[in-house]
Structure 1
Amino acid sequence: MKRVLQATVLAGCLPMAAIADEIPRFDVETQCEMVASIGGDFSNVTYNGCIQMEQAAYNRLKTEWASIPAGVRRQCEEVATVTGSGSYSTLGGCIDMETQAADNRQSFSFD
């Protein structure tokens, strides 16, 4: 019985591990429609620019996603979805800042 329970728990965890290595799927069109509607009237220029920016960010992130530490991925995914739909540009910016901060940790001084 104990082995069956362990196998069931392990099997349940495996798909989540595989999914965690995949870049999240955001509703980019909805995000860009929201951005393009800020200020009242819908702007096709803003919408198209948003789609291009999000596509470039997604293309960059999908090649490096698996190499980004899981904690950074989780934290930045939360930041990127704060508006609801999600933004790959925000996700990429967050990851860049977290990576730079980790490479340049500050220290406190009593001087």
Structure 2
Amino acid sequence: MKKTVLLAGALLASLQSHAVTAQSLPRYDVKAHCREVAAFGGAFSESTMDGCMQMEQSAYDQLKRTFPDLSASMRKHCDEVASFGGHGSYSTLQGCIQMEQSSARRNAGTEFKY
């Protein structure tokens, strides 16, 4: 009986902590992403690496304030888009969110005309 109660408590705590982390920003390997971008085409570019890191930091800083307020479906969809095929990108995540929000605003007032 004690074992069952402990297991149930551990499961509940695990589910609660997962729900909290689902609302926080995903963790991407930004340095690896930027290295791939900077090396694209063969020759590594320090200026591209620097620009990529700055762009990713700026996107992350903006997203950490707004990401928890987004719908779960938008967070999940845009995380999948931003992490597709690699290490993940906060600037791609930000772009996806902006496009989804813009489209939702346009779609809210759209009606089909017969």
- Calculate the TM-score normalised by the size of structure 2: 0.86
Aligned partner of residue 32 in structure 1, secondary structure:
helix
Segments of 5+ residues of structure 2 without an aligned counterpart are none
Segments of 5+ residues of structure 1 without an aligned counterpart are none
Question: In percent, how many aligned pairs have the same letter?
Answer: 45
CA distances 1:53-109 after superposition (whole Å, capped 9, x unpaired) = 000000000011111111100000000001210000000000011111111114434
Within 2, Cα distance between the matches of 1:37 and 1:66? 33
Within 1, Cα distance between the matches of 2:50 and 2:89? 14
Higher helix share: 2
Residue in structure 1 matched with residue 105 of structure 2 by the alignment: 103
Within 2, Cα distance between the matches of 1:74 and 1:108? 29
Within 2, Cα distance between the matches of 1:34 and 1:41? 11
Residue in structure 2 matched with residue 64 of structure 1 by the alignment: 66
Within 1, Cα distance between the matches of 2:52 and 2:97? 19
Within 2, Cα distance between the matches of 1:85 and 1:15? 24
RMSD of equivalent CA atoms: 1.8
Aligned partner of residue 104 in structure 1, secondary structure:
helix
Within 1, Cα distance between the matches of 2:18 and 2:76? 13
Q: 1:21 aligns with which of 20, 23, 35?
A: 23
